[in-house]
Each structure stands twice: as C-alpha cells, then as structure tokens.
Amino acid sequence: MADEGIRRDEPGEVPKQFQNEQASAETSTIMNVLGYGPHIRQARIEAYKASDRHRTAKARGIATWITTGSKAEGLTSFLESDRDHLVVRESVICLEDGVNSSSVPVETTIFRSCSRISYSGHCRLLLEQYGTTIPRIVYNALCDDGFGRGLLSSDLYVNQCLNVKQGEGTVQHESAGPSTPFTNYVLESDCVHALHYYCPSILTRWAARHRYWPSPDVVREVVSLGAFVSPVGVKGSDYEHVEWRMFFNTGENVLINNLNDTQVKLYVLLKMVKKDVLQPQKKEVTSFTVKNIVLWIAENNPHTLFHKRSLFHWLHEGLYALRVAIDTKELPYYMIPGRNLMAACALDHEQKRSWIATIDEMMTEGPRMILRLPKIRQAINAHPEPLRWYSGRKIEYEMLMLIYMNRLALGVDEDTDVIMQAINSRQKEILREMFTGKRVVSHPGIIRLCSTQARVLDRRLAEDW
C-alpha cells in the first residue's frame, strides 16, 4: 500500500505542493466544527477510559471492561451510535503454542492455542490447566476434541454469555456473531466477550516490520498490551463452532489515537464513504476494513506528508486502496497480514462492479466528491456563524453528558450531588436555546444538520426530564 500518487520533483524528494490544498484545509476546518477536532476527540477518549475503569472496579476482578470502536477512538458523540464493549474474563489465559506456562499462577485456567488447521488469525483452544477456580461460563463451554482433551467451544461460549443476567433497565437482543447487543434505558451497546491471549511471536513479527509510523515507543506500547481471542470462527470452516479469532483491540485503540489530525480525518471521511455512498447491506465493507486501509497508509508513508492541506490527496489514496480491496477481494489485516479481511465478505459480481464504478467517479470528481457525504455537504451549505454556535452547544452538551455518565458510574446520588444538579440545569438551558431558536437561524442547512442530533436530544429530554 505504498503511496503511488505523490508527485515528486526527483526520486525520494518530498512533494512541494499537493493538489486541492485550499479545499483540503477548508474541509479540515469544517470537520473540526462538526466535532472531529483533536480536543473533543481526546475528551471523549479520556471519558470512556474513565468509564471503563469504573466498570472494571465494580466487576471485582471477574472481568475487565474495555470500550472499543468509534467511542474509544473519540469519533462519535454520546448517543450518535452504539457503544462497543469488550468484556475480558479474568482468571483465564490462552497461550500461543510454544510459550512456557510455568510462570502462570496456579489459580489461572490455561488454554493452549492450536492454529495448525485453522485459517490465519484463528485458532482452537485446548485445555492445558484447570485453575483453582474456573468460571462457570468457561466450564460449561468445554467439549471433547475427540482425543480425550478439553476443547473450548466458541459456539457454546457465546450461548453461555447470552445467559448472563442483565442489570435493571437492560434489555438484551438477539446475538450477532460474537457480539451481544443490548439497550440500557436509551443507550445502545454491543458487547463482545473475550479471553486474554499471550502471543509474543505474532506481536514480535508485527513490531519488526520496517515502517514510517508508529514511533518505536508506540510500537512497544502496542506489544505490551497483548491480544485477545473472541468466540467466532471462519464462516464455512469445518471447525467454525470451536474456532476463536485473534484480535488486538487495545493496541488498535492506541494506534488510532496516535494518528495525526489529518490521518484521523481521512479515517472519518472513508467511514462516511462506506456508510453514505457505498451503503453495504451485508457487511461486505465495514469500518474495520476502512481502519486497516488507513493504518497501512500511515505505516507506509512519511508522517510529515499528512497535514491539513494534503487531506484530499490522502482521501484519493484511501479510495484507491478501497477500490483495490473490493476489486481483488484482498486486504491484509494490519496486525496479522496473513489474514485476508475480504476473504469471507459476501460481495457478488454486480455489487463489486457498481462500487468500483462509484469509487472511480469519486476519484475523478476531485474536491466535489465531498458533496456526496451528507454531513459534510450540509455543513458546507449552512451559514458559518449559526453552524459554529450550534456545534459549540452540541459539544458542550456532550461534554456534560460524559461527566454525568462517569459520576453515575461512581455511584453518586444524582438527586443530591451538586455537580450533577448543575449539569442537569445547564443541559436544560442548552436544550431550550437549541430548540426555541434563540440563536440558530432557520437556514435549511442548519435545520438538516441539526435534525438527527435533535431527535437524539429529544429522546434524552423525554427519558430524563
């Protein structure tokens, strides 16, 4: 995924100028107004990290809670999309084949990964050691591998997770793959149950790659965070019901949070292309697909080339990489290149041809391609001053919601806590300003831009007040 589109005066020379620099800079500014700037992203990231610490503490050593996806990346507002959770069962560890288990505490249950007959990035888990106590959810998912050895079934594990009792106000929905969707009052979440996976050889190979990015310090941090396995096999595999998928969510969170501002905005724009232009119905292309494209682009190109005036250049490169992935049905997983992320996508010939034609059109449109993205187009059409006012209020409201969320997680009484009462008061004031037209003029662009968030805030208002 080397950058083939950079124009240089001589081989190895950094380009002096990118095409469409002014349009790139203006789009970057608009994205800041829409809530994709570095300060709001960092505030979201820190808020969800704090929330995870509170939830993990409440679990009392049974499990670790980790927010993943767009919430952990700071890219969506409080109620804009589902919150993805990773729930990692403690007192159980899975070890890569060849790793010495003698240093593992006796109270820990050990599984040994077996990848010999599994597709790259997947494995089966053979029981090696019972801990002094074994979680019931794990014990009930054990089966026989046909040779008298305990084998942890991914299917049975998912079924056991579905039987976990939910708290008050939580409604669990039908499972989708390894994830369990649920609604807690008005908050929609997806929960994936996972196990720790110690795989030094995989991470060592990843760390040893020649790269422009990330820095050695970030590489070491990613390696230190380790890996996980989730209960999902390869579709169509003979061993699908007992296969587990390797993944690196915490490390990937660190990688995304170490992208620079332009790289993050490239990621956001490609996600918008996926959602609003391609509109996949069967997860033929996902946000995970797009994330891997951005990570490869970041790794293979000098960091200094990513700045606000080069955004459209890199969007063109990202679209080209997406086109190639769709056309060839090949995209290597950033952490384990031997795993093809497009291998199991249900992409038929007509769909492929249509998407390639659409991407080709976008690549020839230049900066006008951005008008295909409703959120960006509406912001461009809106009057700047009311747009900035509305965005500022929306971001303030969201920051208050994140503080509110974490005080609730601490067990603070919302009826007596002074801070929570002040938050409630200010939120009501913001809502009144936004919905009574105190400042936001009746410009069609502003109205369209506000509509989705307004429905979300209306729901929050109805539920809480």
What integer is the mean pLDDT of 149-166? 89
- The predicted pLDDT at position 115 comes to 87
Distance CA 180, CA 328 (A): 32
Report in angstroms the alpha-carbon separations of 460 from 128, 188, 202, 395, 453: 49, 13, 44, 15, 10
Contact by Cβ (8 Å): 180, 190: yes
- The predicted pLDDT at position 113 comes to 96
Return the higher-pLDDT residue of 345 and 317.
317
Question: Residue 15 corresponds to which tokens in the numbers above?
Answer: 């380009």
- The predicted pLDDT at position 459 comes to 47
**Number of other residues whose CB lies within 10 A of the CB of residue 169:** 10
Distance CA 207, CA 222 (A): 9
Q: Is the pLDDT of residue 172 over 70?
A: yes
Q: Is the pLDDT of residue 105 over 70?
A: yes
What integer is the mean pLDDT of 29-56? 94
What integer is the mean pLDDT of 40-54? 94
Measure the CA angle with vertex 431, ends 425 and 435; round to 5°: 150
Contact by Cβ (8 Å): 287, 69: yes
What integer is the mean pLDDT of 92-120? 93
Distance CA 340, CA 343 (A): 5
Question: Residue 185 corresponds to which tokens in the numbers above?
Answer: 């009052």
Half-sphere exposure of 177 (CA within 13 A, CB side): 15
Return the higher-pLDDT residue of 464 and 254.
254
pTM above 0.75, yes or no: yes
Q: Is the pLDDT of residue 437 over 70?
A: no
Taking phi over 0 as left and psi of -120 to 50 as alpha, with beta for the rest, 61 belongs to: left
What pLDDT digit, counting tens, does each position of 318-352 carry? 999 999 999 999 999 999 999 999 998 888 999 99
Question: Which residue type occupies 308?
Answer: K
| Least confident span in 9-13, 81-85, 242-246, 364-368 | 9-13
Please state, rounded to an integer, the average pLDDT across all residues of the chain.
88
What pLDDT digit, counting tens, does each position of 179-210 carry? 777 787 667 888 899 999 999 999 999 999 99
Say if residue 3 is exposed, middle or buried (CB neighbours under 10 Å; 0-12, 13-18, 19+). middle
What integer is the mean pLDDT of 414-429? 92
